[in-house]
Homo-oligomer: A and B are copies of this chain.
Amino acid sequence: MRASDKAYAALRDDIIEWRLLPGTVLAEVEQSERLGISRTPLREALSRLTAEGLTTAGGRGVVVTDISLDDIDELFELRETLEGKAAALAAERGDPETFERLRRELLHAPELIGGQEPALHDYYELVGRLDAAIDAAISNAYLVQAMRSLRVHLVRVRRLAADDAARLTAAAAEHAAIAEAIAAGNPRLAEAATTLHLHRSLSHVKATHTPH
């Protein structure tokens, strides 16, 4: 693994997990010493982070980007647009059997949610598989790329909300509905199910938001 990759992954994780708070200045020497690498690969890592929008290069040095409540609204506005379209396209172009299988798995998800840590991990992995299946089905590299760059910020926001069992169970049902609509080949239904899910998800985040 390259040093720049390592630095990128470490910094990205620190930002997403809120160990590096918004407004923190990432001085090059300081960070390169902390991560045990030289400034050159660190700078490349900072470039990538800035390109993703996790940091900004304005003024002196790079600074960890702020995410406020207003940003969350903007984030979900774009997310609804992109993922709604993605779900619709998946319904048009996807393989029904793939999503039918995912739907059945998602219906059994509540069993995983009740369980301990490892089972919970399985649940997140399952949701990830649904996202991946949608990405694969739409066969539009640009749309996939746009969603991917969004997800980075979303993971960051998610950390602000408490994912209780009740919300996860409801989310699983919503995901199952999306999978079902895609399997049925119904674009408008798939888009509607996605819109519904995202609105509920946003409401949950805002309701359980803990100010930093």
A13 within 8 Å of B (CB atoms): no
Which residue of B44, B51, B74, B140 contacts A77 across the interface (Cβ within 8 Å)?
Answer: B140
> For this complex, into which size category does the number of interface residues on chain A fall?
20 to 34
Inter-chain contacts of A153 with B (CB < 8 A): 142
Binding site for B on A (CB under 8 A): 40, 43-44, 47-48, 51-53, 71, 74-75, 77-78, 81-82, 85, 89, 139-143, 145-146, 149-150, 153
Query: A40-B40, A51-B51, A150-B142 given as contacts; is B82 within 8 A of A81 (CB)?
Result: yes
Contact A51 B53 (CB under 8 A): no
- Shortest distance between the CB of A154 and any CB in chain B (Å): 10
Contact A74 B141 (CB under 8 A): yes
Which residue of B44, B48, B85, B142 contacts A43 across the interface (Cβ within 8 Å)?
Answer: B44
Contact B40 A146 (CB under 8 A): no
Number of copies: 2
Task: A43-B44, A74-B142 given; name 9 further pairs at CB < 8 Å.
Answer: A44-B44, A51-B51, A53-B142, A71-B142, A75-B142, A78-B142, A78-B143, A78-B146, A81-B82
- Shortest distance between the CB of A5 and any CB in chain B (Å): 11
Q: How far is the CA of A207 from the CA of B16 in the complex (A)?
A: 46
- Shortest distance between the CB of A124 and any CB in chain B (Å): 24
- Shortest distance between the CB of A10 and any CB in chain B (Å): 18
Contact B82 A140 (CB under 8 A): no
- Shortest distance between the CB of A86 and any CB in chain B (Å): 9
Smallest Cβ-Cβ distance to A79: which chain B residue: B142
Contact B140 A74 (CB under 8 A): yes
Q: How far is the CA of A53 from the CA of B52 in the complex (A)?
A: 12
Smallest Cβ-Cβ distance to A86: which chain B residue: B81
